[in-house]
Amino acid sequence: MKIILYIIKKEFKQIFRNKGMLPIIFILPILQLVILSNAATYEIKNITFGYVDLDNTKTSRGLIEKFEASNYFNISNRFSSEKEASNNLLKGAIDAYIYIPNYFERDLQKHKINSVGVYVDAIDGAAAGVINVYITQIIQNYSRTITADFIQVSDAVQKPNIVDSIPLFWYNQTLNYKTFMVPGILVLLVTMITLFLSGMNIVREKEIGTLEQINVTPIKKHQFIIGKLFPFWVIGMGLLTIGLILAKIIFNVPFVGNLVLLYGYTSVYILVVLGMGLFISNFTDTQQQAMFIAWFFIVIFILMSGLFTPIESMPQWAQWLTEFNPIRYFVEIIRMLMLKGSGFMDILPLALKTLAYAVVMNALAVWSYKKTI
Amino acid sequence: MKTQNVIQVEGLTKMFGDFTAVNAITFEVKKGEIFGFLGANGAGKTTAMKMLIGISSPTSGLAKVAGFDVYKETESIKKNIGYMSQKFALYDDLTVKENITFFGGIYGLSKKQINQKRSELVEELGLVDVTNSLVSSLPLGWKQKLAFSVSLIHNPKIVFLDEPTGGVDPITRRQFWEMIYNAAHKGTTIFVTTHYMDEAEYCDRVSIMVNGKIEALDTPKKLKEQYKTDSMNDVFLKLARG
The highest-level CATH class for domain B5-241 is: alpha beta
d(CA A329, CA A316): 17
- For residues A143 and A181, membership in a common domain is answered with no
Does residue A90 belong to any structural domain of this protein? Answer: yes
Instruction: Lowest mean pLDDT of A108-112, B89-93, B101-105, name the range.
Output: A108-112
Q: In what order do the strands lie in the sheet with A77-79?
A: A77-79, A49-53, A96-100, A117-120
**The pLDDT of residue B104 is above 80:** yes
- For residues A192 and A304, membership in a common domain is answered with yes
Give, rounded to a whole angstrom, the gap between the first and last alpha carbons of chain A. 26
The string over A132-144, giving b where at least 16 C-beta atoms fall within 10 Å of a residue's C-beta and e elsewhere, is eebbeebbeebbe
CB-based contact, A159 to chain B, within 8 Å: no
- Helix intervals (H) in B15-169: 45-52, 74-80, 96-106, 111-125, 140-151
CB-based contact, A217 to chain B, within 8 Å: yes
**The pLDDT of residue B63 is above 50:** yes
Does residue A159 belong to any structural domain of this protein? Answer: no
Residue B89 with chain A: CB contacts under 8 Å: 209-210, 212-213
pTM of the model: 0.80
Select the residue from B14, B56, B75, B106 to test the A interface by mutation, using most A Cβ atoms within 10 A.
B106
d(CA B90, CA B137): 12
Nearest to A109 by CA among A58, A61, A68: A58
Phi, psi of B61 (to 5 degrees): 100, 175
Q: Is there a contact between A277 and A198 (Cβ–Cβ < 8 Å)?
A: yes
Confidence category of residue B113, pLDDT binned at 50, 70, 90: very high
Q: Which of A6, A10, A212 shows the shortest C-beta gap to B55?
A: A212
pLDDT tens digits in sequence order for chain A, 373 residues long: 789 999 999 999 998 888 888 888 888 888 888 888 777 666 677 888 889 988 888 888 888 888 888 878 887 788 888 889 888 888 888 888 989 888 888 887 777 777 888 898 888 877 888 888 888 888 888 888 877 776 665 544 455 555 666 666 666 655 567 777 888 889 998 999 999 999 988 899 999 889 999 999 999 998 999 999 999 999 999 999 999 998 888 888 888 888 999 999 999 999 999 999 999 999 999 999 999 999 999 999 999 988 888 888 889 998 999 989 999 999 999 988 888 888 888 889 999 999 999 999 999 999 998 887 6
Q: What is the pLDDT of residue A178?
A: 74
Question: Which of A125, A154, A183 is the last residue in one of the domains?
Answer: A154
Q: What is the pLDDT of residue B136?
A: 92
d(CA A276, CA A271): 9
Q: Is there a contact between A196 and A275 (Cβ–Cβ < 8 Å)?
A: no
Q: What is the pLDDT of residue B2?
A: 44
Confidence category of residue B61, pLDDT binned at 50, 70, 90: very high
CB-based contact, A20 to chain B, within 8 Å: no
Nearest-by-CA chain B residue for A221:
B75
Question: Does an H or E element contain B34, and which?
Answer: strand B34-39
Q: What is the pLDDT of residue A123?
A: 84
Q: Which of B78, B81, B89 shows the shortest C-beta gap to A210?
A: B89
Q: At what angle do helices A259-282 and A221-249 cross, to 10 degrees?
A: 130
Q: What is the pLDDT of residue A69?
A: 84
Select the residue from A5, A10, A12, A201 to test the B interface by mutation, using most B Cβ atoms within 10 A.
A10
Strands A77-79 and A49-53, bridge-based pairing: parallel
d(CA A94, CA A89): 5
The SS3 call for residue B210 is strand
The ipTM assigned to this model is 0.89
Question: Which of A126, A154, A182 is the last residue in one of the domains?
Answer: A154
Number of H helices, E strands in chain B: 9, 10
Q: What is the pLDDT of residue A42?
A: 65
- For residues A211 and A63, membership in a common domain is answered with no
- For residues A258 and A359, membership in a common domain is answered with yes
- For residues A16 and A83, membership in a common domain is answered with no
For residue A285, which amino acid is it?
A: D
A 10 A CB-CB count for A112 gives: 9
- For residues A361 and A336, membership in a common domain is answered with yes
d(CA B98, CA B104): 10
d(CA A70, CA A72): 5
- For residues A267 and A363, membership in a common domain is answered with yes
- Helix intervals (H) in B81-231: 96-106, 111-125, 140-151, 170-185, 197-202, 220-226
Q: What is the pLDDT of residues B147-171, one digit of tens each?
A: 999 999 999 999 999 999 888 888 9
d(CA B35, CA B44): 16
Q: Is there a contact between A311 and A319 (Cβ–Cβ < 8 Å)?
A: yes
What is the pLDDT averaged over residues B37-62?
92
Q: What is the pLDDT of residue A113?
A: 73
Does residue A357 belong to any structural domain of this protein? Answer: yes
Beta bridge partners of B39: B209
Does residue A373 belong to any structural domain of this protein? Answer: no
Question: Which of A91, A119, A154 is the last residue in one of the domains?
Answer: A154
B231 vs B240, more confident:
B231
**The pLDDT of residue B1 is above 50:** no
Does residue A160 belong to any structural domain of this protein? Answer: no
Measured in residues, chain B has a length of 242
Q: What is the pLDDT of residues B196-209, one digit of tens each?
A: 888 899 999 999 99
d(CA B86, CA B168): 12
Domain span at A130:
49-154
d(CA B149, CA B182): 11
- For residues A8 and A98, membership in a common domain is answered with no
Residue B105 with chain A: CB contacts under 8 Å: 2-3, 5-6
How many domains would you assign to chain A?
Answer: 2
CATH (domain of A81): 3.40.1710.10
Strands B60-65 and B5-16, bridge-based pairing: antiparallel
- For residues A193 and A317, membership in a common domain is answered with yes
- For residues A192 and A239, membership in a common domain is answered with yes
Q: What is the pLDDT of residue B48?
A: 94
Q: What is the pLDDT of residues B11-46, one digit of tens each?
A: 999 999 999 999 999 999 999 999 999 988 888 999
What is the pLDDT averaged over residues B166-192?
92
